[in-house]
Amino acid sequence: MEWVYDTQLVDYETALKAMQERVDQIYRKQKPELIWCLQHPPLFTAGTSAQKEELLNSFSLPVYYTGRGGRFTYHGPGQLIVYILVNLIERQLDIKAYLNLIENWIIETLQVCGINAEQRAGRIGVWVKNEAEEAKIAAIGIRVSRGVTWHGLAINVAPDLKYFTGVIPCGLSNFGVTSLAKIGAKVNLNQLQEILKTTCPFH
């Protein structure tokens, strides 16, 4: 497993092209599996289930219609993107087990940060509860090509949350979006990726 942490913003199209190439290399056993941590400049992405009416205000940002699962979400500085490129066939994992593994990885990581996060039946992603209100703190969107996963997860460390009002995040209008900064966690992106490394279920 190769682990890469980019400290500079990575263009979305550049990341897509790099992932596509790496998926092929992993499939052909030319390169090892990859976990790639990064941030994107401000943009929106739409998954294969996205409905056009769920984009409420693009804020004049780029909107990318991509092949990952899921619906609309925002990416930008202060959000840690973790692209996960692993061979599910080699690891004998189906997609349901893989998604469960990712959610539990995020939950365990946030526990190290002092945050109690949870899964919710029927809602992909990871959630935190503040009194009676629930909000999403991490989103997941994946694609599988020839048994190799790409795309991955996004954890809101300290992004500008106003941009999430531009979409119905993940198609769920009844729930808000939050961040580690908003709920008072004193963790930066570098620290978070180091914790993810120690709790990583892929070795």
What are 166-200's pLDDT values in tens digits?
988 655 555 689 999 999 899 999 999 999 999 99
Does residue 22 contact residue 31 with C-beta atoms inside 8 Å?
yes
pLDDT tens string 16-30? 999 999 999 999 999
Mean pLDDT for 46-68 is 92
| Pairwise CA distance, residues 138 & 179, whole Å | 8
The tens digit of pLDDT for each residue in 66-108 reads 989 888 999 999 999 999 999 999 999 999 999 999 999 999 9
Q: Which amino acid is at 86?
A: V
**Domains of the chain (ranges plus CATH)?**
2-199 (3.30.930.10)
CA distance 201 to 105: 7
Query: CA 52 from chain center: how many Å?
Result: 21
Asked if 170 is an active-site residue, the reply is: yes
Q: Which of 37, 113, 170, 200 is catalytic?
A: 170
Q: In the structure, what pLDDT confidence band is assigned to residue 2 with cuts at 50, 70 and 90? A: very high
C-alpha 15/C-alpha 43 separation (Å) is 13
Strands 63-65 and 72-75: unpaired
- In which element (H, E) is residue 155 found? strand 148-156
pTM here is 0.94
